[in-house]
Amino acid sequence: MTAWLIKTFLLCVLNVAAALLLSPLCEGILRKLRATIHSRVGPPVSQPFWDIFKLLGKEDLRSTGGLVYAALPALTLGSVLLLAALVPIGTGAPLSFAGDLIVVLYVAAISSVLMMLTGFGSGSPYAAIGSSREMIMLLTVEPVMAIALAVGAFKARTLTLGGIANWQVQNGPSISMAIGGVAFFLALQAVAGKLPFDIAEADQEIMGGLLIEQSGPRLAMFRWAIWTKQLVLAFLLVEVFFPWPHFGVYPADLLATLVKVMALLVLVTVIDVVNPRLRIDQAMGYYMRVAVSSLAALAFAVIGK
């Protein structure tokens, strides 16, 4: 029992550390890509690390008092790290148990909710608008993710992510899982706060929205949380919906996963760069349609495709 605990703990630490260190690197590469499309040179790939380093060293300024408000950035980052321990990153998820799929959905929503609370609590009208937009986005995007994962659960007859992934590896691609994967990918664009869905931050309209009052270490933690969440969800998408090719050799599989995750994030960034921002009502309409379409995946799953 003790050995199992230590092993699980070490795996969790490994996962969390990997997520924490990989996400700024990833962000740096994506910034470089974005700059290239802009015809810019762009900052060095290591810039996000320096950003975090710099912000963490700054004074902790808060627009309002209160212990909860003070703790919100750390709680947000913590919730994302918990998500990192629940999701398979290169290997099986360290915290895997029956029903972890539902926990993943909830934990993924926690960071959004905490950021929303930060916005509402910071006492700025722009942050309040940003938070209400974030709430709307959360409520419209969450069903899409849930439906996509439900397809996997239905097909594999299990509520564990690892189970679905294994089932996928053994049974090969199917129409329903492909549709589910695409739906999850479209949801990822909004969850990662990328254009055309960065509506809750919308610099040009509400000046950073729910994060307008955040600076220094608080901003560093929020930024880090956002980057990490985007990376972890990309891993989730790849592991659950597109786990092939599966070589059965660990280094090869890890490499394949990393390549796929990077390709996915490149796609997310390209969409981000070549689109203007939608209005909240337009984004809502869009995800309603995506949610309805993804029900088709469930239908296909029922008839066994």
Contacting positions for another protein (CB under 8 A): 37-40, 125-126, 129, 195-196, 198-199, 202-207, 273-282
Shortest CB 28 distance to another protein, Å: 18
Cβ closer to another protein: 136 or 258?
Answer: 136
State the minimum distance, in angstroms, from the CB of residue 183 to another protein: 19
Compute the least distance from the CB of residue 104 to another protein, in Å: 30
Write out the two tokens for 86: 């629940």
- 85 or 129: CB nearest another protein: 129
Question: For the chain, what is the radius of gyration of the CA atoms?
Answer: 19
State the Cα–Cα distance between residues 197 and 38, nearest whole angstrom.
19
Polymer length of the chain:
305
Helix orientation angle between 100-121 and 161-171, rounded to the nearest 10 degrees: 130
Nearer to another protein, 246 or 277 (CB): 277
CB of 204 to another protein, least distance (A): 5
Cβ proximity to another protein, 161 vs 206, nearer residue: 206
Contact 112, 72 (CB under 8 A): no
Cα 175–Cα 177–Cα 178 angle in degrees, nearest 5: 65
Q: How far is the CB of 173 from another protein (least distance, A)?
A: 30
By C-beta, is 126 or 185 nearer to another protein? 126
CB of 198 to another protein, least distance (A): 7
Contacts of residue 209, defined as CB under 8 A and 6 or more positions apart, other chains included, come to 119, 126, 127, 129, 130, 131, 133, 134, 200, 201, 202
Closest CA to 154 of 144, 170, 168, 140: 168
CB nearer to another protein: pick between 276 and 304: 276
